[in-house]
């Protein structure tokens, strides 16, 4: 798979045979970061965020009174054609540094002063885990799996994900 081989090539280039990943190494994982961002675009851990209205508001001609809670679905908005070309296609290149970024359309950790406090840490942690897994193993999905999602406040695969794993050569 091209995606895995590109990510693995980057990990091999940045880490070589090093066992430990430094903070400086994390900044060199540009493609791995793109893969993580694209994954969170299509499958945000939390599928939405809500905000309480402190004053009446009109949204698309509909009056919403103060005291109401508004839910913004990142799962829906991050899959809209008007914000992302071929929105259901997994394309890490859309997060390349030179690619245009749609404003307020990508928010897997929410936005503004109430965004997730752990977003930077969780992204660093995810890069460390992904890099170590790609450094040590090769993965392939077992064919014929259902790809359904269970929403329990966070999104997860309903039927799990079954892979064949072998040591990296």
Q: Which domain holds residue 49?
A: 2-167
Please indicate, yes or no, whether the overall pTM of this predicted structure exceeds 0.75.
yes
Residue 90 · residue 38 · CB < 8 Å = yes
Q: What local confidence, expressed as pLDDT, does residue 1 receive?
A: 58
Instruction: Convert the pLDDT of each residue in 95-134 to its tens digit.
Output: 999 998 877 889 999 888 888 999 999 999 999 999 999 9
Q: How much is the average pLDDT of 143-164?
A: 89
* 165, β-bridge pairs: 139
3-state DSSP assignment of residue 44: coil
| CATH code for position 18 | 1.10.630.10
DSSP for residue 92:
G
Residue 3: band (very low, low, confident or very high) from pLDDT cuts 50, 70, 90:
low
Mean pLDDT of 69-75: 91
- How far the first Cα of the chain sits from its last, in Å, is 15
Tokens describing residue 11: 């990990």
**What total number of domains does the chain contain?**
1
Identify the pLDDT of residue 84: 94
Q: Please indicate if the annotation marks 105 as binding a ligand.
A: no
Distance between CA 168 and CA 71 in Å, rounded? 43
The mean predicted confidence, pLDDT, of the chain is 92
Segment 25-64, tens digit of pLDDT: 999 999 999 999 999 999 998 888 888 999 999 989 999 9
């Amino acid at each position: 798979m091209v995606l895995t081989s590109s990510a693995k090539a980057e990990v091999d280039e940045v880490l070589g045979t090093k066992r430990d990943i430094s903070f400086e190494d994390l900044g060199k994982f540009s493609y791995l970061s793109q893969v993580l961002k694209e994954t969170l675009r299509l499958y945000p851990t939390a599928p939405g965020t809500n905000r309480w209205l402190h004053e009446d508001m009109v949204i698309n001609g509909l009056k919403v009174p103060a005291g109401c809670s508004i839910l913004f679905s990142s799962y829906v908005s991050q899959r809209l054609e008007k914000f992302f070309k071929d929105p259901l296609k997994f394309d890490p290149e859309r997060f390349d540094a030179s690619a245009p970024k749609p404003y307020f359309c990508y928010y897997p950790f929410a936005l503004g002063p109430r965004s997730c406090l752990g977003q930077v840490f969780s992204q660093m942690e995810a890069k460390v885990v992904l890099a170590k897994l790609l450094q040590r193993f090769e993965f392939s999905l077992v064919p014929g799996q259902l790809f359904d999602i269970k929403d329990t406040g966070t999104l997860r695969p309903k039927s799990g994900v079954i892979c064949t794993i072998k040591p990296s050569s």
